[in-house]
Amino acid sequence: MDRFPNHRILPYGLVLPSLTVIVVFLIIPFAQAIYQSFHRVSPFGRQLRYVGWRNYIEMFQSPEYLSSFQNTLIFSVLVIGVGLTIALVVALLTTQKIRGAGFYQIAFIWTYAMSPIIAGVMWSLIFDPSIGILTHGIANLTGYRINYFTDTVAAFILVTVASVWVMLGYNICFFVAGLQNVPHELREAAAIDGATAWQTFWVVTFPMLSPTTAFLIFVNTVYSFFQSFGLIDVVTQGGPNRTTEFLIYKIYRDGFGRMQEGQAAAQSVVLFVLVAIVGAFQIYTSTKKSVYNR
Amino acid sequence: MRLKRKTLQKIGIHLILLTTLVAVAFPIYYAFVMATHTHQDAYAFPPILTPGDQLIPNIKEAWNRVDMSVVLNNSFIIAVLVSIGKIVFSILAAFAFTHFKFKGSWFLFPLCMVTQMMPLPVRVIPLYQTMANLGWLNTYQALTIPYLASTTGIILFRQFYMTVPEELADAARVDGATPMQYLRSILVPLSWTNIAALLVIEFVYMWNEYLWPNIVTTASDMRVAQMGLRMLYTSERGAAEWNIIMAGTLVIMLPPLIVLILFRKQFAQGIAMQTTK
């Protein structure tokens, strides 16, 4: 640990750059957000006025906020549930002893380079009401033409599919890395004891993979809560009927569009608490006594 | 008989993987096809699924509509600056946390980890006011400096530096090298894989940033790539000119894709290192 015992000051100098950025651009602004969440800008002038818990109380009484909250949660659960399941299946298959395993592992990575906006643009073409391939396909099968400009379900599916798609490369990459860390002997031992592939997966592989899974749940939560902003802003603008007005989009609208800084700050604090809960879960999973005393 | 079943199983695996791959690649392929057709052919029914010959004219058109050279240039500058800055800051901090014993490190290390918990959006409003007070709106400082602390980077380098044998530092010390000389001539050259991995992660991340640039830039010459794409896309509602939109999309998605493909091995290794505890 202490490989250069005679240098007492140097380590502080080494962490100073990172620390300065963290304090000035993270801790202080965050503290300000908490402060603002208990204040309001008065309608005349730019003075802040203390309002206690009012921003929070009104927020949780607002049907708009509650439905945004609910939609964000549904969206996150779908992105995490569907996205991680597909990624895990693909990762499991590409780590089998098959030819071209390396090719597949590389072939799926590239969606990682795509931005949420690019995902949104590409999938909105597929969902396009007049020329979208999916629209044509569904119309041919059912006679119903989906239109994500007016149809809330179609819009919700569009943003979910685009999000799952854009996160897929990253998720697969981490699952592949995690699977390669699961010792072969354990799986083989289970197989010798007569366990089926299905049993081996649930008893050996999946528990050993839990740090990776927890990490991916955290990353995908951050994506659903924050990174999805670009996709929403460009493709649906929160619509139709506010279905895709997720929490971050609402903060942006209230904070910058409607100039309700206090209310937006209160929303930011709640959002932080949500992320912190998922983050704490991840840290807990990755630091607790490892599964099977690895 | 047993062998046959295994072969069948393998064929099944290939089938599933190939089908998934085709489904995942389709949106890009279709975007590419769109970008190679005229406006009229883009609206053909049934849809045309093979490439045409209009790619170059469409790219030219998209290029002019959104001032592509400006937005690409800006995104390139901020992506490179932030990548380099984060790599340097993370190496320094990771070096401190792995090679020195100093008072307060028990507290400073977790403090560096909280960046992960406070993504930019939860502090976006006060941070905007900070930028305004500093007079940084519409500057590269606003687009780069708030990003420079990196949890991922510190973890990535720390994980690796902990595994470097202590004898290396001892030998350097005996030879009279200062810690910074040791860092520069021994540790950094050993870290190329991690540096490349972090470069991919941060370059892709910054290239794809949208919310913050959208807030701190209003001047047209400070716009970034993702904002250019939005303008291209939203200005074309109605009978959207999908061929132009997709031509622009291809151009904008290319730089991070090239970086990822160039360093894919290092990126995968970096991820593997992050998952081993």
Which residue has 């990459």 as its token pair? A173
Contact A90 B20 (CB under 8 A): yes
Is B264 in the A-facing interface, judged by CB distances under 8 Å?
yes
Indicate the SS3 state at residue A40. Answer: strand
Residue of A nearest to B162 (CA): A1
* Whole-angstrom distance, CA of residue B228 vs CA of residue B220: 10
Residue A9: Cβ-neighbour burial (10 angstroms; 0-12, 13-18, 19+): exposed
- pLDDT band, residue A283 (cuts 50/70/90): confident
Q: Domain ranges in chain B?
A: 69-225+255-275
Q: Tokens at residue B268, please?
A: 């995968």
CA distance B195 to chain A (A): 17
Chain A residues 32-51 within an 8 A CB cutoff of chain B: 32-33, 36
Domain A56-293 fold is MetI-like fold (1.10.3720)
Is A114 in the B-facing interface, judged by CB distances under 8 Å?
yes
The yes-or-no verdict on residue B116 having pLDDT over 70 is yes
**Helix A152-180 × helix B264-275 angle, to 10°:** 80
pLDDT for residue A92: 92
Residue among A3, A212, A265 minimizing CB distance to B275: A212
Q: Tokens at residue B23, please?
A: 């489904």
CA distance B232 to chain A (A): 10
The CA-based dihedral angle spanning residues B234, B235, B237, B241, taken in that order and rounded to the nearest 10 degrees: -110
The CB density around residue B26, as the number of other CB atoms within 10 Å, is: 15
Is A103 in the B-facing interface, judged by CB distances under 8 Å?
no
* Whole-angstrom distance, CA of residue A80 vs CA of residue B170: 47
**Cβ burial B181-198 (10 Å sphere, 16+ → b, else e):** ebbeebbbeebebbbbbb
- Identify whether B255 is preceded by a cis peptide bond (ω within 30 of 0): no
pLDDT for residue B121: 79
For residue A251, what are the CA distances in angstroms to A59, A263, B49, B213?
11, 8, 41, 16
Is A12 in the B-facing interface, judged by CB distances under 8 Å?
yes
Beta strands in chain A (DSSP E): 39-41, 48-50
Indicate the SS3 state at residue A227. Answer: helix
Q: Domain ranges in chain A?
A: 56-293
Q: Which of B14, B17, B120 to probe the A interface (max A CBs under 10 A)?
A: B17
For A261-278, write each residue's pLDDT tens digit.
888 889 999 999 998 899
The yes-or-no verdict on residue A207 having pLDDT over 80 is yes
Residue A152: Cβ-neighbour burial (10 angstroms; 0-12, 13-18, 19+): middle
Contact A115 B214 (CB under 8 A): no
Is B238 in the A-facing interface, judged by CB distances under 8 Å?
no
The CB density around residue A49, as the number of other CB atoms within 10 Å, is: 9
Residue pair B117/A279 in contact by the 8 Å Cβ criterion: yes
CA distance A244 to chain B (A): 16
The CB density around residue A80, as the number of other CB atoms within 10 Å, is: 24
The yes-or-no verdict on residue B64 having pLDDT over 60 is yes
Domain B69-225+255-275 fold is MetI-like fold (1.10.3720)
pLDDT for residue B3: 67
* Whole-angstrom distance, CA of residue B83 vs CA of residue B128: 22
Q: Tokens at residue B89, please?
A: 């800051």
Q: What is the DSSP letter of A41?
A: E
Is B136 in the A-facing interface, judged by CB distances under 8 Å?
no
CA distance B46 to chain A (A): 9
- pLDDT band, residue B2 (cuts 50/70/90): low
Indicate the SS3 state at residue A253. Answer: helix
Residues 6+ apart with CB under 8 A from A31: none
The yes-or-no verdict on residue A293 having pLDDT over 50 is no
Among B30, B34, B172, smallest CA distance to B95 is for B172
* Whole-angstrom distance, CA of residue A192 vs CA of residue B164: 38
Residue pair B124/A279 in contact by the 8 Å Cβ criterion: no
pLDDT for residue B118: 81
Q: Report which residue type is found at A288.
A: K
* Whole-angstrom distance, CA of residue B227 vs CA of residue B67: 11
For A46-62, write each residue's pLDDT tens digit.
678 888 899 999 999 99
pLDDT for residue B232: 92
Residue pair B197/B264 in contact by the 8 Å Cβ criterion: no
pLDDT for residue A185: 83
The yes-or-no verdict on residue A113 having pLDDT over 50 is yes
Contact B211 A252 (CB under 8 A): yes
* Whole-angstrom distance, CA of residue B83 vs CA of residue B198: 7
Q: Which of A95, A122, A182, A278 to probe the B interface (max B CBs under 10 A)?
A: A122
The CA-based dihedral angle spanning residues B124, B126, B130, B135, taken in that order and rounded to the nearest 10 degrees: 70
Contact A18 B154 (CB under 8 A): yes
Residue pair A67/B159 in contact by the 8 Å Cβ criterion: no
Which residue has 């031992």 as its token pair? A189
Contact A15 B117 (CB under 8 A): no
Residue among A36, A90, A116 minimizing CB distance to B126: A36
Residues 6+ apart with CB under 8 A from B117: A272, A275, A276, A279
CA distance B74 to chain A (A): 16
Among B276, B277, B256, smallest CA distance to B201 is for B256
Q: Give the rounded distance of the alpha carbon of A293 from its chain centre.
A: 30
pLDDT for residue B125: 86
Residue among B42, B169, B276 minimizing CB distance to A4: B169
Chain B residues 86-115 within an 8 A CB cutoff of chain A: 88-90, 92-93, 95-102, 105, 108, 111-112, 114-115
* Whole-angstrom distance, CA of residue A26 vs CA of residue B176: 39
ipTM: 0.92
Beta strands in A90-161 (DSSP E): none
* Whole-angstrom distance, CA of residue B271 vs CA of residue A144: 44
CA distance A105 to chain B (A): 9
Residues 6+ apart with CB under 8 A from B92: A14, A15, A17, A18
- pLDDT band, residue A294 (cuts 50/70/90): very low
Is A291 in the B-facing interface, judged by CB distances under 8 Å?
no
Count interface pairs A-B at CB distance under 8 A: 281
The residue with greater pLDDT, A123 or B173, is A123
For B190-228, write each residue's pLDDT tens digit.
999 999 999 999 999 999 999 999 999 989 899 999 999
pLDDT for residue B44: 85
The yes-or-no verdict on residue B246 having pLDDT over 60 is yes
pLDDT for residue A200: 86
* Percentage, residues of chain A above pLDDT 70: 96
Among B109, B84, B112, smallest CA distance to B203 is for B84
B contacts of A276 (beta carbons < 8 Å): 117
The yes-or-no verdict on residue A99 having pLDDT over 50 is yes
For residue B246, what are the CA distances in angstroms to A68, B60, B223?
31, 12, 19
**Interval A122-137 mean pLDDT:** 92
